[in-house]
Amino acid sequence: MSLAIEKLSVVYLDGGHAVQALEEVSLSLVPGQCSALVGESGSGKTTLGMACLGLLPASASIQGSMAFHGRHLYPFDEKAFNEVRWKKIAMVFQNGAANLNPVHPIIDQVAEPLIQHLQLGRKQAKEKAAETLVRLGLDSAHHSHYPHQLSGGQSQRVLLAMATILNPEVLILDEPTSALDAMNKGIVTGLIREAKSAGKSVLLITHDLEFAVKNADTMAVIYLGQIMEVLPGADLLVQPFHPYTLALGRSYPTITTARDLGGIRGDAFYRMVHQHVRSNGKTYSHTHIQVPETSHKNGHAPPTGCLFHNRCTQAIERCMHEEVALEKVGNHEVRCIRHGIADLLELRGVSKQYDQTAALQSTDLTLRYGEAFCLVGETGSGKTTLAMVAAGALQSDEGSRLFEGMDIRKGDRRSLARRIGVIYQNPAESVSHRFSVLEIVEEPLKIHESALSKGQMKEQVRRVLAEVHLSTDDAFLARYPHELNMGAIQRVCMARALILEPSLLVADEPTSSLDPSVQAKVMKLLLDLQIERGLTLLFVTHDIGLARKIGDRLGVMLGGGLVEVGPASQILTCPSHPYTRLLLVSVGGSFQEDLPVRTSLGAEAPRGCPFLTRCRRAQDVCRRAKPQLLDRDHRRVACHFPLGSPSQ
Amino acid sequence: MHLRFSHIVMRDPWFVIGCGLAIVFAAATFLGPPLAPFDPWDMSFTPISPASARHPLGINDAGQDILSELLFAVRNTVGFGLVSGMMALAIGVLIGVSAGWFGGVTDMILMRVADVLLAIPAIMVLILTAALFRPSPWSLAMILALLIWPSVSKGVRAQTLSIRQSLHVKAAAQIGGGKWYIIRRHLIPELYPLYLIGFAAKARMAMFMEASLAFLGLFDPTRKSLGMMISYALRYYYMDIWWNWLLPPILCLSLLIMTVTFLAISVEKVLDPRLREILGEETA
């Protein structure tokens, strides 16, 4: 452990009030490993980087400790810092060229640390500097240029050269890639790899999640100065445990996630610390977290509780009051009262039989808070049945259904029903043709909130209609479904599904009756609502293209069971089940099948794999035993011979 | 119930004609006694006189004013039809909805009872009852209702079964709507066409039945009825009385039946928004 940060808190003082930039951050840098610190702007990432070099301004009040190879740097020790700064711990500052001195040629600036710290001669220093710059891909023609003559990428390389020239043990990179294109990012990646293999520790501070995933061994997700989750680097985009990590990953455009950018709902709190001077001269401080809209004087949000609760998709009453600490969950560390992203709905071994056909065969399905789960598969694979069982519109023959961990059979069905909104495949038939728009949207309120007055109900109907971008005037409210076009009816149905503010929205092919332009509008609306309301979405579709745009996770159904479940981006770029691959091939796109597949729908084997008759890889065991869903990387696959691992 | 009810309905010829006739018959029914120029039981006039200014439809064989007689007869026939039709409808809907919604044993028992009743000819039972027990006309109307509900309940049951499976009922149940809520809000309104058809058919049948029984002379002979008027008029058919004595009751009976039918058609259009749209297009 080269650099150990222990419960470091930083408060920027500014007159009467103060801003909490970091709160009890603990982080260890291990030689030969790269740790990444990711989070939104203003989360305190850079403050931590600066703190590692002892460069925080005088207005910062620092608590906690930091040690470099056992030598304490904090509580602040100027002498210790002077010894390690730049020689042992170096940093590439944010904002590229702004950190360079505009009146000196770059070669002089790169050579300066050598002259300053190692007392090398000028010529010798320049030679070494030139060598370093060339290694970083900046050829000698540029060496005598001034900073303003360089491009952003070139300046970044100069900064990298300055930071690495003294061969420090700890390298801190603060947004090293923000000015770089993809090609130049490769150079930074190479540098990090080189540093790692030389046994150095790297702290990568970045909001570039894809770059972080590529380089970091461990990762800390920071929000408003608190570390929310510590996780293995590769898990960031595919297996986040904290709702914030999920939302952050959803906001980032990687090359493989096809889902539309989600963003994180709401705005972050301001963190203020109030200083009070007691009569004995001592000061004490306490923290307030403050909602952005309310000004400082008008009141304070509760001083305790999870910092993320106002934007969280799974916040409960306790989140607002109880302090949470990082705790170990699996191989992650999570700061969440609910131990990371919780399960909203769980189906265990549900089966459903229609006369002779088994529509569902002992299927498990788990929906987590705030995620969009897509069910795909061919017609008759049981998608709708599964979704309707999940929604409670259909009773399963066997198996149990848990909502927020509570068995629904034991719970009150009526009160659970209001937590789940359903949008049906055929919007016009899902509402009574004798109801006007007002009556359609109002119906859930009439069932569950019968105490409301007529005016209040109408007010709520207007609000929710406005949310789905429909007219709210009386003429529209008095219209009947047959007087509306399909897109409008579907949005009326959405309004109806949303009026009770459910936690789960089940949408069964909601756009199959719409033309592409209306579909685009409805889908955009649905996704926006999902993000803004923090809904969990179960989306059923046979359209893989649409599923790509919606799903965080994907479930592929075949013959009444799930054959592959996992992160949508992984499954769609690299399917594991031959059936998934066949689906993707059928859609076209980038998948080209080198050999023809058998597409005949033969009689399905009673015991074996449901894909048996169409599978090219089928062997004896496939005939004998039905494959079980087994964990594989970040997904679950039901196949005896799954297709190559995702890395291939 | 609907904002544009009157606007749309007034443009429908079925409704206008049906309504016109209904007003005439309603007036005859409710205002019959004061409107009648003479007491229909007063036999003090010259028998079998042709129409005159004093007696617009002349005098019958017993020396009674035919117009006064007709007004009282319409009143009796309409009353009998309405009571019997409504009763049959109420019983039929209650039993049909129960059988269709609850199913199982309830359904089986109720429908077997209905089958038995369907096999019994109502007119025979009615003739025998009237001849043997001489019940009041109101009792007869109720007995008739008890005999003719099965065809209403069969239709209601079938429709209930189909609506029960429809998506909007399932959607309402998913939201958490209870059994009674769904029956009240989704099922009962959906059955409107059946009520109207059922009521129209049963009221027509009952009015016709009343006329037939009276024609056969199974009612109290002093009770005025369209059937009895026709029966007496036919006895003097050889005399030139057909237009003033025979035609009026026949015309009244036919028009009564048409009125019920026309109104049922037009109200059904109004209550079903989809039919109303077609109607709106036609008349626009």
B 157-196 residues with CB < 8 A to A: 166-168, 170-178, 181, 185-186, 189-190
Q: Give the pLDDT confidence score for residue B4 in this predicted structure.
A: 52
Q: Give the pLDDT confidence score for residue A222 in this predicted structure.
A: 92
Helices then strands, counting H and E runs in chain A, come out as 20, 26
- Chain A residues close to B175, C-beta within 8 Å: 417-418, 443-444, 447-448, 500
Q: Give the separation between CA A559 and CA A60, rounded to whole angstroms.
A: 62
Q: Give the pLDDT confidence score for residue A217 in this predicted structure.
A: 92
Over residues B88-111, mean pLDDT: 90
Q: How far is A379 from chain B (nearest CA, A)?
A: 19
Q: Give the pLDDT confidence score for residue B1 in this predicted structure.
A: 39
Of B167, B189, B273, the CB nearest to A426: B167
Of B171, B176, B185, the CB nearest to A418: B176
Pairing of strands A34-38, A357-368: unpaired
Residues in chain A: 648
The residue in chain B having the minimum alpha-carbon distance to the alpha carbon of residue A444 is B175
Which amino acid, residue A407? D
pLDDT higher than 60, residue A385: yes
pLDDT tens string A86-98: 888 999 888 777 8
E-strand ranges in A552-601 read 553-558, 561-567
Q: Give the pLDDT confidence score for residue A293 in this predicted structure.
A: 46
Q: How far is B101 from chain A (nearest CA, A)?
A: 18
Percent of chain A with pLDDT over 90: 14
Least confident of A124-133, A366-375, A553-562, B48-57: B48-57
pLDDT higher than 50, residue A353: yes
Buried b (16+ CB within 10 A) or exposed e, B126-160: bbebbeeeeeebeebbbbbbebbbbbbbbbbbebb
Q: Give the pLDDT confidence score for residue B277 in this predicted structure.
A: 53
- Average pLDDT over chain A reads 83
Which amino acid, residue A75? P
Q: First CA to last CA across chain A, in angstroms?
A: 34
pTM over 0.90: no
Q: Give the pLDDT confidence score for residue A15 in this predicted structure.
A: 66
pLDDT higher than 60, residue A584: yes
Q: Long-range pairs for A602-607 at CB < 8 Å and ≥24 separation?
A: A604/A559
Give the rounded distance of the alpha carbon of B230 from its chain centre.
20
Q: Give the separation between CA A458 and CA A466, rounded to whole angstroms.
A: 12
Pairing of strands A504-508, A398-403: unpaired
Helix axes B247-271, B273-283, angle to 10 degrees: 110
Q: Give which of B164, B174, B194, B275 to mutate to test A binding, by max A Cβ within 10 Å.
A: B174
Over residues A500-525, mean pLDDT: 86
Q: Three-class SS of residue A10?
A: strand
> Checking phi first, is residue A81 left (phi over 0); if not, alpha (psi -120 to 50) or beta?
alpha
Q: In the beta sheet, which residues pair with residue A171?
A: A90, A202
What phi, psi does A86 have (nearest 5°)? 70, -35
Over residues A555-578, mean pLDDT: 88
What phi, psi does B2 have (nearest 5°)? -115, 150
Q: Give the separation between CA A111 and CA A118, rounded to whole angstroms.
A: 10
The residue in chain B having the minimum alpha-carbon distance to the alpha carbon of residue A392 is B174
Question: Do the chains contact at B171 and A422, CB–CB below 8 Å?
Answer: yes
Question: Do the chains contact at A417 and B277, CB–CB below 8 Å?
Answer: no
pLDDT band at B2 (very low <50, low <70, confident <90, very high): very low
- Average pLDDT over chain B reads 81
Q: Answer whether B4 touches A (CB < 8 Å).
A: no
Q: Give the pLDDT confidence score for residue A304 in this predicted structure.
A: 64
Q: Give the separation between CA A478 and CA B56, rounded to whole angstroms.
A: 52
Whether A375 contacts A331, CB under 8 Å: no
Name every residue whose Cβ is closer than 8 Å to that of residue B85 and which is 6 or more positions away in sequence.
B145, B199, B200, B202, B203, B204, B205, B206
Q: How far is A495 from chain B (nearest CA, A)?
A: 13
Counting one residue from A and one from B, how many pairs have CB atoms under 8 Å apart? 61
The residue in chain B having the minimum alpha-carbon distance to the alpha carbon of residue A447 is B177
Q: Which two tokens stand for residue A539?
A: 């989306």
Over residues A474-495, mean pLDDT: 89
Q: Give the pLDDT confidence score for residue A294 in this predicted structure.
A: 42
Q: Give the separation between CA B158 and CA B170, rounded to whole angstroms.
A: 17
Question: Do the chains contact at A429 and B176, CB–CB below 8 Å?
Answer: no
Over residues A501-506, mean pLDDT: 90
Buried b (16+ CB within 10 A) or exposed e, B198-218: bbbbbbbbbbbbbbbbbbeeb
Question: Do the chains contact at B274 and A422, CB–CB below 8 Å?
Answer: no
CA atoms within 13 A of residue A377's CA, in its CB half-sphere: 29
Over residues A313-334, mean pLDDT: 84
Higher pLDDT, A411 or A179: A179
Closest CA to A330 of A318, A319, A346, A341: A341
Question: Do the chains contact at A430 and B171, CB–CB below 8 Å?
Answer: yes
The residue in chain B having the minimum alpha-carbon distance to the alpha carbon of residue A430 is B168
Over residues A249-270, mean pLDDT: 71
- Supply the DSSP symbol for A351: E
Q: How far is A470 from chain B (nearest CA, A)?
A: 21
- Supply the DSSP symbol for A482: G
Over residues A344-365, mean pLDDT: 86
pLDDT higher than 80, residue A578: yes
Q: Give the pLDDT confidence score for residue A410 in this predicted structure.
A: 64
Over residues A218-223, mean pLDDT: 92
Higher pLDDT, A258 or A366: A366
- Chain B residues close to A391, C-beta within 8 Å: 174
Q: Give the separation between CA B160 and CA B165, rounded to whole angstroms.
A: 9
Question: Do the chains contact at B274 and A418, CB–CB below 8 Å?
Answer: no
Q: Answer whether A393 touches B (CB < 8 Å).
A: yes
- Chain B residues close to A420, C-beta within 8 Å: 174
Question: Do the chains contact at A482 and B277, CB–CB below 8 Å?
Answer: yes
Buried b (16+ CB within 10 A) or exposed e, A432-460: bebbbbbbbbbbbbebbeeeeeeeebbeb
- Chain A residues close to B278, C-beta within 8 Å: none
Of B167, B168, B175, the CB nearest to A444: B175
Higher pLDDT, A497 or B43: A497
Q: In the beta sheet, which residues pair with residue A67?
A: A4, A72
Which amino acid, residue A457? M
pLDDT tens string A282-292: 555 555 555 44
pLDDT band at A568 (very low <50, low <70, confident <90, very high): confident
Q: Answer whether A411 touches B (CB < 8 Å).
A: no
Which amino acid, residue A339? H
pLDDT tens string A424-467: 988 888 888 888 999 999 999 988 888 889 899 999 999 999 98
Q: Give the separation between CA A133 and CA A187, rounded to whole angstroms.
A: 12
Question: Do the chains contact at B185 and A443, CB–CB below 8 Å?
Answer: yes
Neighbour count for residue A175 (Cβ, 10 Å): 22
